[in-house]
Structure 1
């Protein structure tokens, strides 16, 4: 995190929020830089929406501070902060056309008519709805209504725009289109966006940084690549992307690798990817991403390799996902790129499988110790 406070748009310091004795947000420290697109990601009930509401002033923390551009706004309500929020339910005014929906906030602030016209015109161009100003809300598609809601939120020029799962009601293709559109708008507007989602792909596609939450805590905060390649624990590893998680115990270590025992097998894990310098005897989990498991000729030069059996295969167009067994306990999923003409293994076939030491991440925790699996 940056030590330059001038670079920080919004921040929480040890924020805690409780409801009826239950802790919804638990000692969260979060810094969002100016101009960043940050996603808060986690399963339902993890506290991400409560944290967003604390940032927006719709809730106030029981402990800790909220700072906006370095100013303490902990007890300032939403209307007193230069932030704005878009909810899952867009709450557009059905009796107003697009122009007046967007202009509403400016009119409340007693902005002059000429200035309203100029700013609404600018924001309509930004969201690519320049010719829609006199359309009624009922005439808009789902994606167009989303863009009107974004325009209405941005026309007041908030320092931070907060978005609470605004794309969740859209069908898959429109959702993908709106992800690209929202990122474009954020980049061209130059603002700071904080986006709540439970969809890992959405967070990975859009974000400069991601905060993964569970049970009120911020488990990890980093770039998409940091969180994918160096997850803080097995919950994060499982929640971001597809990974095999295998219980393991460290047997020995040297300057390069760990030797661990997992599922009755000896496995070499590369030290270069370790977050912690695990000692012999330590229990934890091995994380091996599906795409790092190699099968057939591709496995021949892997440090860790076995003969195994294909138990299932699922065709996914550009890839095939295989379920594999290399013994009574060692079961793996592999995601293999596929082109017409490539070998395609069938259930029941014997095949060599393996993975390289540098593709194994030893995590010094047990998934069962972290409560429920991500949902």
Structure 2
């Protein structure tokens, strides 16, 4: 049942959805290829669930179009589309056992009993519940119930499976286990999954591509590494991963470097390709990921070398995160790889840190562009 990424499975073209005068989804264009695992990521109220419901036919756009395998399905309700959705509340039928929960969609379609038995068993094997067909729903663990819901949603072979934060009620370890399990099922089934979450780590761990949303707009759509390493603006940079965001003033550009000022610090950075030029004298955001700041002796080879006072040291096993007071009300955080025996710094210690121009991203303060990865 495996399959590779192929043509466009589902897309939206400039869709708009309003509720009582408020725009929940604002001119969103999104293309998802067949066989992709895509996550829609953003804070509560950003429009990601509304967009998912538009894709599934549970809501209809006020403007724009939704296309499934190239066919315009705008206005067609959920039952008329070959899609399926899993919600946070799994809504399994408590009076039915595992087999009959999974078989329900086939029975509605009056599928022959022999085919129902074969296909349900195939699904049970896919979700690794082969011996659970007669188990009562009340006797399942949280992770087992999740897998039954997935099997039930996939039994009719939907072109696209839509998932609305289905893992959010699970504890941390089970959630991590289910992330791996869900990705395995998607890969083996060969289907197209679109997953809504507000958890950046969940999106990064599972996705082929991520759409970051805010205030109903799709700010950026790209692979996890594109969004992490080349965020389109300061909001995306802060929302995906840990980063220092400094408000800076543009000074001068020379030899491919831009000199900026942050408080009493003068720093050399490299502007991000594909974003509008930021003129001298204007304000911007400088993003420096915690792990891109080198500490101690490793900082000596950097173009930008700074000295700060450690105010906090957090031991994380393989790394240590330092918070430093740089003076002028500026704080920076640096995450340093740690091996037993390495130098460790305590609050009050002076610590040299550094970074090179390519490690700092100069970004607009707000999304002034919409950038898509190549499709």
Q: What interval of TM-score do these two structures reach, taking the shorter chain for normalisation?
A: over 0.9
Q: How does 1:16-95 map to 2 (within 5 A)?
A: 16-95=16-95
Contact 1:264–1:330 under 8 Å retained in 2:
no
Q: Secondary structure at the match of 1:176?
A: helix
Give CA-to-partner distance per residue, 1:29-80, whole Å, 9 cap, x none. 0000000000000000000000000000000011110000010101000000
User: Helix, strand or coil for the counterpart of 1:277?
Assistant: coil
Counterpart position of 2:15: 15
* Larger CA deviation: 346-355 vs 224-233: 346-355
Deviations 1:156-202 (A, max 9, x none): 00000000000000000000000000000000000000000000000
Q: Distance in 2 between matches of 1:169 and 1:258?
A: 46
1:319 aligns with 2:292: no
CA shift, 1:260, in A, is: 1.0
Aligned-residue offset at 1:316: 1.3
| Cα separation, 2, equivalents of 1:135 and 1:238 | 45
Structure 1 gaps of 5+ residues are 1-5, 370-375
Asked whether the equivalents of residues 11 and 67 of structure 2 are also in contact (C-alpha less than 8 Å), the reply is yes
Q: Could you give the per-residue CA deviations for residues 215-269 of structure 1, whole angstroms, max 9, x where no partner exists?
A: 0000000000000000010000000000000001221113421111112211100
In structure 2, distance between residues paired with 1:171 and 1:133: 25
Structure 1: how far apart are the matches of 2:62 and 2:324? 49
- What is residue 145 of structure 1 aligned with on the other side? 145
Show the counterpart of 1:112.
112
State the match for 1:373 in structure 2. none
Q: Give the C-alpha shift of residue 354 in structure 1.
A: 1.5
Secondary structure at 1:326's aligned position in 2?
Answer: strand
Please state how far the C-alpha of 1:271 moved relative to its aligned partner. Answer: 4.0
Checking the alignment, whether the CA contact within 8 Å between 2:286 and 2:360 is kept in structure 1 is yes
* Alignment correspondent of 1:247: 247
8 Å contact from structure 1 (residues 282, 364) kept in 2? no
C-alpha distance in 2 between matches for 1:171 and 1:71: 40
Residue 264, structure 1, aligned to residue 256, structure 2: no
Structure 2: gaps spanning 5 or more residues = 1-5, 369-375
**Counterpart in 2 of 1:222?**
222
- Contact kept? 2:96, 2:136, Cα under 8 Å: yes
Contact between 2:271 and 2:363, CA under 8 Å: does it hold in 1? no
Which segment is superposed worse, 323-332 or 25-34? 323-332
* Change in 2 beyond 3 A, CA 1:115/1:289: same
Aligned length: 364
Q: Please identify, of 352-361 and 95-104, the stretch whose mean Cα deviation from structure 2 is larger.
A: 352-361
1:308 Cα deviation after fit: 1.2
Closer, same or farther: CA 344–187 of 1 in aligned 2, 3 Å: same
Partner of 2:336: 336
TM-score, normalising length: structure 2: 0.94
**1:372 paired residue number:** none
Partners of 2:275 and 2:63 lie apart in 1 by 30
SS in 1 for 2:211: strand
Question: Which residue of structure 1 aligns with residue 303 of structure 2?
Answer: 303
Distance 1:64 1:274 in 2: 27
Q: Does 1:177 align with 2:194?
A: no
**Deviation of the 1:273 alpha carbon:** 5.6
Distance 1:209 1:69 in 2: 19
- What is the distance in 2 between the residues matched to 1:271 and 1:243? 17
Which residue of structure 2 aligns with residue 167 of structure 1?
167
Q: Deviations over 1:67-123 (max 9, x none)?
A: 000101010000000000000000000110100000000000111111111111111
Structure 2 residue 277 is the aligned partner of structure 1 residue 277: yes
